[in-house]
Chain A
Amino acid sequence: MNRRFLLALATAACAILLAAAPHHSQAQAAQSAPAKTAAHKKPSAAAKPDPAPAAPVLISVNGVKDIDPQKATGNTSAPVTMEVFSDFQCPACKQLYTNTTNRVIENYVNTGKVYFVHRDFPLPMHAYSRVAASYSRAAAHIGKCDAVEHALFEKQAEWEATGKVKETVASVLTPVEMKKVQALVDAGTLEPLIEQDKKTGQLVPVNQTPTAILTARNGQSYPVVGFVSYDVLKTFLDQLIAQK
């Protein structure tokens, strides 16, 4: 009786293992190479659309490497590239965004003089800045970078106190957009891009946020640490743009 029961149990276990093996190897392959899997996936009417886009491609502009084009704006042949390493929970970053960055984008990026790169540099001392960076990155990859960054900085004091980053992001997106953003955040496929920004910052090295790196067309880089007013930055940008 006991032997028969054990035999039946072992047979059932073997059958389950054999049935599960192909699925397991497929899942492993999908985990190790998500982009490849996505690219080779056969279209199926029953399959749900994959929210994750193809593997993000990083570009180089004006000698500045590892730029996520979804987090950058402007003319790639602009004479000056401006990277801003910031943390969504840092008050000085909010001030830089509100008082300086917006005006630089309006007067220099939109006129083709500066190529602007948002770099994520979430500091470990801030509880929600990494989450905010993840949502911002995901939003950028569905073309909603500006709206989400604006909301995160504008409502910084609110979500800093409550931790409601997701709700802040949702307040400026449609439900469909939010679903896409949430899927990207949950999938974690964009996290390496945040890590890449952090690595790039550590090489500078970025010791505090915000830090802006201005790179002229001759390849020379100038770090500007801390908050800088638009008027002060303007004189410097004009000088760099005028350089041959």
Chain B
Amino acid sequence: MLQSAPFTARRIIIWIGRLVLAGIFIYAGYSKLFTPNLMLQSFFMFKFSISSNISNFGQQVRSYELLSESGVSFVSHVLPPAELVLGFLLLLGWRLRIWATIVTLILLGFISVVTRAYLLGMQIDCGCFGKPEPLTGVTVLRDGALLLLAVLMTVFAFQEARQPHPWNAASNPS
């Protein structure tokens, strides 16, 4: 006999976290890689579009004045595709604890640099998405809310793994 309802608060938060954070990460990665420039006339044009978008994002990373040129280059080339992949992995829900932890750490990094820039009064674009967006208190609050959601999702994902829902436990006796 089943001892609890299929949707507990814990599972609902995991689902909300997965959907919201996956959506935001996929959009963030996509917009950085494919906007503002996307020319599809030829493969050369497409390659140039991606390169110029990465270069544009690199400029936003550089404006935080935290990394060396090689650090800026690494972040601008790795972060957008990583966001895209992590978003899809969150949607899939496979090995959720690993991806949720990585997403939480990335968001922790984001809020640290954004808060620092905000407190220093830096007049820069936040570089959150492809479109330029001035870094304001709203950016800090938004990143804070996303971090909270990511932390809850990660904690609950670990709890879920230790004490699986009866329905999951019944379907996965191992």
Tell whether A95 pairs with B123 under 8 Å between CB atoms, given A222-B39, A228-B52, A235-B48.
Answer: no
Q: Tell me if B37 is interfacial: C-beta within 8 Å of chain A.
A: yes
Per the bound structure, the CA–CA distance linking A226 and B132 in Å amounts to 9
Task: State whether B63 touches A232 (Cβ < 8 A).
Answer: no
Stretch in B5-13, B18-26, B54-62, B105-113 with 4+ CB within 8 Å of A: B54-62
Q: Return the contact of A227 from the options B45, B51, B56 (Cβ within 8 A).
A: B56
Query: Which residues of B lie under 8 Å from residue A92 when comparing CB positions?
Result: 56, 59, 125, 132
A232 and B48 in contact, given A222-B39, A226-B36 (Cβ under 8 angstroms): yes
Complex contact A239–B37 (CB within 8 A)? no
**A71 and B101 alpha carbons, distance in the complex (Å):** 53
For the complex of A and B, 6 pairs with smallest distance between CB atoms: A226-B56, A225-B36, A227-B59, A229-B55, A232-B51, A228-B52
Chain A residues within 8 Å of B39, by CB = 222
A224-B52 contact in complex given A91-B63, A208-B36, A208-B131, C-beta closer than 8 Å: yes
**Does B124 reach chain A (CB closer than 8 Å)?**
yes
Q: In whole angstroms, what is the CA distance A224 to B48 when docked?
A: 10
> What residue in chain B is nearest A96 (Cβ atoms)?
B59
CA A233 to CA B59, docked complex, whole Å: 14
Contact mask A205-241 → B, CB, 8 Å, 1/0? 0011000000000000011111111001101100100
**B26 to A: closest C-beta gap in Å:** 21
Nearest chain-A residue to B51 (Cβ)? Answer: A232
Decide if B94 is an interface residue (CB 8 Å cutoff).
Answer: no
Please name all residues of chain A whose beta carbon is closer than 8 Å to the beta carbon of B44 when the two chains form the complex.
Answer: 239
CB-defined contacts of B62 to chain A, threshold 8 Å:
95
A177: Cβ under 8 A from any B Cβ:
no
- Bound-complex Cα distance A160 to B58 (A): 23
Return the chain A residue nearest B62 by Cβ.
Answer: A95
Instruction: Enumerate chain A interface residues (CB-CB to B < 8 A).
Output: 91-92, 95, 160, 207-208, 222-229, 232-233, 235-236, 239
- A226 & B37 in contact (Cβ 8 Å cutoff): yes
Contacts of A91 in B (CB 8 A): 63, 123-125
Q: Is the CB of A236 within 8 A of B125?
A: no
- Given that A160-B123, A226-B59 are known contacts, is A232 also in contact with B52, CB under 8 Å in the complex? yes
The distance from the CB of B35 to the nearest CB of chain A, in whole angstroms, is: 8
Compute how far the CA of A233 lies from the CA of B51 in the bound complex, rounded to whole angstroms. Answer: 9
Contact status B55-A227, CB under 8 Å: yes
What is the CB-to-nearest-CB distance from B59 to chain A, in angstroms, rounded to a whole number?
A: 4
Contacts of A235 in B (CB 8 A): 48, 51
How far does the alpha carbon of A177 sit from the alpha carbon of B32 in the complex, in Å? 44
Q: How many angstroms from the CA of A229 to the CA of B62 in the assembled complex? A: 12
The residues of B that contact A160 with a CB separation of less than 8 Å are 123
Report whether A236 and B56 are in contact in the complex, using a CB–CB cutoff of 8 Å.
no
What are 11 residue pairs bridging A and B, where the CB atoms are less than 8 Å apart in the complex? A92-B56, A92-B59, A92-B125, A207-B36, A224-B37, A228-B52, A228-B56, A232-B48, A232-B51, A232-B52, A235-B51
